[in-house]
């Protein structure tokens, strides 16, 4: 994992060291919130880039966090046009 462009001391290492499954299906960074979402089957983990840890209470079912997305998630991205569209933000 990286902090901006600097490789973290623990990296590279198993994702399980960060509380994540070893293999994930998709990942997406929401820079506005300093969060990274990791998807595996029907579950989602939210990683706090500032605290360098998985947020308390995760994982959640993907549909509980991202209303209306297909499950399981196989790919994800964040489109930034400079405007904040709150309708597309996670519900949790």
What does the block give as tokens for 88?
A: 């597309």
The reported pTM is: 0.70
Which is more confidently placed, 89 or 29?
29
| Per-residue pLDDT tens digits for 34-63 | 899 898 988 899 999 888 889 999 998 887
The CATH superfamily label for domain 2-76 reads Hemopexin-like domain (2.110.10.10)
Give the residue extent of every domain in the chain.
Answer: 2-76
* Residues 6 or more apart in contact with residue 33 via CB below 8 angstroms: none
The C-alpha atoms of residue 44 and residue 66 are separated, in whole angstroms, by 9
* Residues 6 or more apart in contact with residue 62 via CB below 8 angstroms: 39, 42, 43, 44, 69, 71, 72, 73
């Amino acid at each position: 994992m990286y902090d901006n462009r600097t490789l973290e001391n623990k990296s590279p290492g198993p994702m399980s060291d960060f509380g994540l499954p070893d293999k994930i299906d998709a990942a997406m960074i929401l820079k506005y919130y300093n969060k990274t979402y990791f998807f595996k089957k029907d579950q989602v983990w939210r990683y706090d880039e500032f605290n360098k840890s998985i947020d308390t209470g995760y994982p959640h079912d993907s549909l509980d966090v991202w209303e209306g997305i297909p499950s399981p998630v196989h790919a994800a991205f964040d489109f930034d046009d400079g405007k904040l569209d709150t309708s597309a933000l996670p519900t949790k």
